[in-house]
Amino acid sequence: MKPNSPFRTTSMLLLPALLVTLAQSGCHPKDAATTSGTTGSPTSSGVTATPGTQAKSSTPVPAGPPQKAILPPEGVRAIYLTGWSAGTTKRFAQLIDLVDRTELNAMVIDVKDDGEVYYDMDIPLVIESKALNHAFKVEPVIAKLNEHHIFPIARIACMRDKPLILAHPELAVHDANGKVWRDRSGHYWLNPYSKKVWDYNVAIALDALKHGFKEIQFDYVRFPSEGKVNSLRYEGKPVGSKREDQIAAFLKYAAEKIHAQGGWFSADVFGLTSRVKNDEGIGQQFEKVVQDVDYLCPMVYPSHYAYGEYGMKDPNKEPYKTITLSIGDAQKRLVANPKCRLRPWIQDFNLRHVRYGPAEVKAEIKALHDLNIYDYLIWNAGNRYTEAALRKGKDTAPHPQSVPVAAPAKAETAPPAETVPAPGAKTTHTSKP
């Protein structure tokens, strides 16, 4: 979906002012009608800097914040792509064809996952930590998505990161003996109390916006949940601080930077955040997480709910009811920030004893529609999707409920493979399979 142009001219007399506006927004005049709203050039830290020289004019036009890209009026309906799928010509073309044939209109593409960065960027810490894996070239990928009117979302897994920790162990979560800690799956975790960690993830987000992504989606925006987490040490943690406040502060900080560059901002959270009142020990407390994001993306995979959850013998066998109850709870709690909207992750994969096909995926989508939600994100780790579950053609009817209230340039106030809970286990930590 092409963004609105923020520039209009009615006569050649306005040309000087127009040139000033273009200079301030970092655009070439010929790009004015198609700019995605990012401005400036990266500094050594990867954070966008203010353009320097402005055109002279007797009536200078003050620069405003970059315009956000226009969201699909029918709601964002996306599939997830690994960086490798985006970088494999044949596979990428197949997935674009799937979007073109169906109601889909967006893609969530890995930019950073488990610390690996999937396209070349000149952020010093990315280079120093040897995080680049060169999976895809960002310019042709974004150009192809724009050509097909596919809304691009950059997924950034924030706190689970191996390369940066190997290069800078001081940024890691540590065990009781002061050694770098790994969870029971062997993953490394960054310290959410580190400002350097915040800046690193935000710099990658701003680079993605600069290269044409229109939304930033933070995943793994939390504290670790596996292993002996009660004995972990966090350098720089203030006495008496709460994890939920630290995650909220990080999201606020990131939102201010992302919004200032014209980007939309979303965050993935566990599905049970809407059901519990606390932060489950990972920092995701519902009312605090929603304060500064445009979209909250609960991962409501029915396979990840324990036997007996919501009174169902096996939620995995009842996708419609599971989605209805979980997202229904989330809707009730959005009163904490009416500007935020829900865009849930739903499953298109098999787990344990239940096979998901057209009927199950359709049931998930229907549950959302019946709740007046027309945005959704479909997860399959291998990027293999059930086309028969999707409606053919495009739905261009606008759904106002899908579009959040425009967020200010500054905040007003201050899903990959995680462990799958065993059958019958308490599902306090629900995430991507």
* 88 and 26 in a common domain: no
Q: Name the band, by pLDDT with cuts 50, 70 and 90, for residue 393.
A: confident
Query: Has residue 276 been placed in a domain?
Result: yes
Query: Which residues face 240 on adjacent strands?
Result: none
Region 137-142: mean pLDDT is: 98
* 133 and 26 in a common domain: no
253-263 pLDDT, tens digit per residue, is 999 999 999 99
**Whole-number Å distance between alpha carbons of 171 and 339:** 34
* 192 and 95 in a common domain: yes
Q: Name the band, by pLDDT with cuts 50, 70 and 90, for residue 61.
A: low
Query: Has residue 320 been placed in a domain?
Result: yes
**Whole-number Å distance between alpha carbons of 96 and 101:** 9
Region 65-84: mean pLDDT is: 94
pLDDT at 228: 81
Closest Cα to residue 202, out of 138, 137, 255? 255
427 pLDDT more than 60? no
CA 263, 266, 211, 252 torsion-angle sign: positive
- Mean of all residue pLDDT scores within the chain: 83
Query: Has residue 110 been placed in a domain?
Result: yes
pLDDT at 324: 97
pLDDT at 159: 98
Identity of the residue numbered 99: V
* 380 and 236 in a common domain: yes
Question: How many domains does the chain divide into?
Answer: 2
* 53 and 162 in a common domain: no
410 pLDDT more than 90? no
Helix (H, G, I), strand (E, B) or coil at 215: strand
Region 23-30: mean pLDDT is: 38
- This prediction has a pTM of 0.80
* 94 and 34 in a common domain: no
* 161 and 38 in a common domain: no
* 324 and 250 in a common domain: yes
Identity of the residue numbered 84: W
**Whole-number Å distance between alpha carbons of 340 and 397:** 21
* 172 and 116 in a common domain: yes
Query: Has residue 188 been placed in a domain?
Result: yes
CATH number at residue 200: 3.20.20.80
* 94 and 48 in a common domain: no
Closest Cα to residue 343, out of 66, 34, 45, 72? 72
pLDDT at 400: 61
Domain that holds residue 130: 77-402
* 139 and 196 in a common domain: yes
pLDDT at 396: 63
The answer to whether 23 and 53 are in contact (CB under 8 A) is: yes
Query: Which residues face 379 on adjacent strands?
Result: 347
* 308 and 280 in a common domain: yes
261-300 pLDDT, tens digit per residue, is 999 999 999 999 999 999 999 999 999 999 999 999 999 9
